[in-house]
Amino acid sequence: MSQWLANIFEQQASRRSGDDEGTEQLVPALTIEHRGLRYVSDFSYLSEVIENALIVPYPEKHSAHIGIINMRGAIVPVLCLAALFGQDEKCCLGERDREGRPLKYPRMVVFCSPAGSFAVGASHVKKCLVPREKMQQCGEIEIEGKVYRILNENFFLRMEEMVA
């Protein structure tokens, strides 16, 4: 996402939260849901959300590496968040449909980490506002009664190490 757009978002968030001292400061975030797993991501690392991207799987299966997509001429690797976090790998996107074709996912969320761009599959994505302080912590956060795993700066900075 472009920086100016992120700034506007942040300004709006600040306005809505009152931005007074002592008031909890809210920051924009993106919730991602797929096959029952939920994540909430730092908005500043979001590049874009693509609808119906075709994933070409690798000729060899790797736990966290699913395949690649074409994002307007740029090849972007698709990663499985579940495998990265040691969750149920069946949730990974690397499977095929009954016809054996690589699965098409409703949405691909493309992030831009310092180590490079990558995409993750999602059934649902939603913008939301979360307390900045909580977003900076590692672990999980509860939003509207549901528990989300946090993808914050720490996560994006460690991408290279995590996929290795």
Partner 1 sequence: MNDLFLEFLLEAEENVQALNEAVDVLIQTPGEPEAFKRVLRALHTLKGGFGVFQMTSVQNACHEIENICGKDASKHTKEFYLWLQSQAQELERFLQTAREAGSPSDLPFTVTPWNGGEAATITTTAGEAEISLEDEFALAEKEAAKFFTKEPEKSQAPAAPVEPASEAPALKVVHSEAPSGPEKVAETKAPVTATASSAPAKPSSHAADSHVRVSLSKIDDVLASIWEIFMARNQISYLIEQSRPLFQNDPALLRTWEAMDSSLRRMVGELESQVMEMRMVPLSGVFQRMARVVQQFAHTSGKQIEFRGIGETIELDKRIVDSLADPLIHLVRNAMDHGIEMPDVRRSKGKDATGVITLKVEISGTEVILSVIDDGKGLNPDVIRKKALANGLVHAADMSDTEVINLIFESGFSTAEKVTDISGRGVGMDAVKSHLESLSGSIEVHSVPDKGCTFLIRIPLKVSVLNSLICSINEMDYAIPHSSIIEAYTIDQTELKRNGHDKYYTYRGEPLKVHDLTKYFPAREDFQLKIIQRKAALLIVRDESVPGKCHALQVSQICRNQELVVKPLPSLTQPIPYVSGVSILADGRPIFILSATKLIQQLTEKREKAKHVSMAG
Binding residues vs partner 1 (CB under 8 A): 54, 56-62, 64-65, 68-70, 73-77, 79, 96, 98-102, 113, 115-118, 159-160, 163
Instruction: Tell the smallest beta-carbon distance from residue 113 to partner 1 (Å).
Output: 8
Q: What is each CA distance from 155 to 32, 55, 77, 103, in whole angstroms?
A: 15, 23, 17, 26
Instruction: Tell the smallest beta-carbon distance from residue 136 to partner 1 (Å).
Output: 24
Closest to partner 1 by CB, 40 or 119 = 119
**Full DSSP string of 121-143:** EESEEEEEEEEHHHHTSSSEEEE
Q: What is each CA distance from 115 to 51, 64, 78, 99, in whole angstroms?
A: 24, 16, 14, 35
Closest to partner 1 by CB, 102 or 106 = 102
Instruction: Tell the smallest beta-carbon distance from residue 128 to partner 1 (Å).
Output: 26
Closest to partner 1 by CB, 26 or 110 = 110
Alpha helices for the chain (secondary structure H): 3-16, 81-84, 132-135, 153-157, 159-163
Closest to partner 1 by CB, 78 or 130 = 78
Closest to partner 1 by CB, 27 or 41 = 41
The label of the residue with tokens 């709006």 reads 12
Instruction: Tell the smallest beta-carbon distance from residue 94 to partner 1 (Å).
Output: 9
Instruction: Tell the smallest beta-carbon distance from residue 101 to partner 1 (Å).
Output: 7
Residue 35 C-alpha from the chain's centroid: 14
- How do beta strands 124-131 and 37-42 pair? unpaired
